[in-house]
Amino acid sequence: MNKVKFIYNPYSGENTIISDIDKVIMIHQKYGYEVVPFRLGMNCNIREAFLDMDESYNYVLVAGGDGTVDSAVNCMKKLNINIPIAILPVGTANDFAKFIGMPQDVKSACKQILNSNPKALDIGKVNDKYFINVASTGLFTDVSQKTDVNLKNTMGKLAYYVKGLEQLPSLRKLKVKVKSETAVFDGDMYLMMVFNGQTAGNLNLAYKAKVDDGMLDVIIIKAGMIKDIIALFINMIKGDHLENASGLIYFKANKIEVECSEDIVTDIDGEKGPDFPLAIECIKGGIKVLGVK
């Protein structure tokens, strides 16, 4: 019998995966798979989930949000595990899963995965860490890191917006140097986002991004008048296209170098990222993914 490593985060989203575990196992058994579950916990290193991995495993099934998937991908890369990965989007933020067309219904998602073939997708890399959806730095980028798990579970994405509002009084210009083969920026900004996916917080910002073009989509929000920034954010929330938008730079690149001496953190898929300077690149076809629409 073929085997599937099923890694699930019981704290993701509204804890819905707990009531769906039997459904996941039942559907996989119908397709001839043995499911080997691994429950993530507060004091549990995800690396432990891969210690028994051998050639009998066909793929890794991850139930969680972007952060859980990110952790699994980073661990697989470090351990040189190259089998396909599949995603059940049950977290607070499921931006990458939505990008590749995964349904939120667990039964539908499992069937879509089991009836698919692996597809090679791009992933991003920042220094020695990988990311699947977005890497960011500047204001608001540590909102997910600072948001209490219980608040996320209770309020969902609204918790991120509430936490972000708390940071508005600290709005300040940040000096940054960005260099790539397609664009250069040396000036003041508020926020920089580097997308492998398309959305952040369910906002379709990097609408030009593709899953397999070998490029990352970069958005820099330049520092400026508060009224202009508010207008820009309103347009972003409305989903308006950002070409030639005042106060914003949007470009594609395969490799990006970022220097910054400001006291700010970086974020990759909702988790703390590396310190500056940053060497960011797109790894074309870096992971094999099941269930891609």
CATH architecture of 2-116: 3-Layer(aba) Sandwich (3.40)
* C-beta atoms surrounding 202 within 10 Å: 12
φ/ψ of residue 274, rounded to 5: -70, 165
φ/ψ of residue 87, rounded to 5: -125, 130
Per-domain residue ranges of the chain: 2-116, 129-283
DSSP single-letter state for residue 169: G
What the block records as the tokens of 193 is 């986002």
- How does pLDDT run along the chain (293 residues), one tens digit per residue? 799 999 999 987 777 899 999 999 999 999 999 999 999 988 888 999 999 999 999 999 999 999 999 999 999 999 999 999 999 999 878 999 999 999 999 999 999 999 999 999 999 999 999 999 999 998 766 554 454 444 444 434 444 444 444 555 457 789 999 999 999 999 999 889 999 999 987 788 898 999 999 999 999 989 876 666 667 666 666 666 666 677 889 999 999 999 999 989 999 998 899 999 999 999 999 999 999 99
Q: pTM of this prediction?
A: 0.88
Write down how long the chain is: 293
CATH topology of domain 129-283: Tumour Suppressor Smad4 (2.60.200)
Q: Which residues contact 269 (CB under 8 A, 6 or more apart)?
A: 66, 67, 69, 70, 96, 131, 132, 133, 134, 135
Residues 47 and 53: their CA atoms lie apart, in Å, by 11
DSSP string, 53-86: --TTEEEEEEEE-HHHHHHHHHHHHHTT--S-EE
Amino acid present at 238: K
Residues 206 and 199: their CA atoms lie apart, in Å, by 6
As a whole number of Å, the CA-based R_g of the chain is 19
Amino acid present at 159: A
CA quadruple 282, 285, 288, 293: dihedral, nearest 10: 90
